[in-house]
Structure 1
Amino acid sequence: MSIDFSKAAGVHDDALRLRAERTKVLASNVANVSTPGYQARDIDFAASLRAAVGGDAGDGFGGDLALDTGAQDLRYRVPYHPSQDGNTVELGVEQAAFAQNALDFQTSLTFVNMKLKGLAKAINGQ
């Protein structure tokens, strides 16, 4: 009898991969805060996770998280206060999204860690 760790982690395996990719997108936004004409992008996490878990091929994932940025369904962020140079990055908004994404990443990581510790206890007969 073998253990399938991808099934043991549940949705958190896909969530961790998607959160890591979202971190890259948000970091790119922050890095381009002063670039004229740069359009801030973000991943619709809920829709992308549903597509990854449900196997909906309409979002470019097809049930398997294709972590190639070009294959993802990135959306443009609408600014609260548009700038004159066409840059839509708002540093406060990006920092808040980055911090929330980091917390959510840590939460998923904690769930996976707890699940693996539970499996280790079961294997050891505790």
Structure 2
Amino acid sequence: MAIGLDKLLGDLPTHLTLYGQRSRVLATNLANADTPGYKARDIDFRSLLSRAAGEQLTLKTTRSGHIRAASGASRPELMYRNPTQPSLDGNTVDAQLDKARFTENAVRYQATLRFLEGKFKGLRLAIKGE
């Protein structure tokens, strides 16, 4: 009985990709914390994840005239954040908030890596017959 790697890993690779994209956006916010007029951005992780899950359920086209589903999980929609305390220079970065979000995102990324590591470890043990 063959099990596909996609079934074994589930959504974990997609999660890693999305966490990586969010890390880049949050790091950009932190790097521009002192840039006048910079608008802080973030990624709506939940909507991206649900959109990515929907893309995994691809529809089969049986004729050339059928419309294909659009794919867009690889390009996140960036949202601009409303500041709780706007600065006088127009910068909307809240460094403390972005540091906390970046740290939380990094912890989630590491946890996902650990889950993947466990999946591969189990697969390796199954292959070895242990």
Moved over 4 A (4+): none
Structure with the greater relative contact order (CA < 8 A, sep ≥ 6): 1 or 2?
2
Q: What's 2:45 paired with?
A: 45
For structure 1, the 5+ residue unaligned runs are none
Deviation at residue 7 of structure 1 after TM alignment? 2.9
Task: Give SS of 2:97's match.
Answer: helix
Q: What amino acid sits opposite 1:35 in the alignment?
A: T
Q: What's 1:112 paired with?
A: 116
Q: What amino acid sits opposite 1:44 in the alignment?
A: D
Task: Give SS of 2:79's match.
Answer: strand
Deviation at residue 12 of structure 1 after TM alignment? 0.8
User: Is residue 37–residue 87 contact of structure 1 (8 Å, CA) maintained in 2?
Assistant: yes
Using the TM superposition, name which of 93-102 and 5-14 deviates more.
5-14
Residue 125 in 1 paired to residue 129 in 2? yes
Q: What's 2:92 paired with?
A: 88
CA RMSD of aligned residues (A): 1.9
Instruction: Give the TM-score taking structure 2 as reference length.
Output: 0.82
Task: Give SS of 2:125's match.
Answer: helix
Q: Which has the larger radius of gyration?
A: 2
For structure 2, the 5+ residue unaligned runs are 57-69
Q: State the distance in 2 between where 1:20 and 1:4 align.
A: 25
Q: What's 2:65 paired with?
A: none
Q: How many residues align?
A: 117
Instruction: Give the TM-score taking structure 1 as reference length.
Output: 0.85
Identity of aligned residues (%): 44
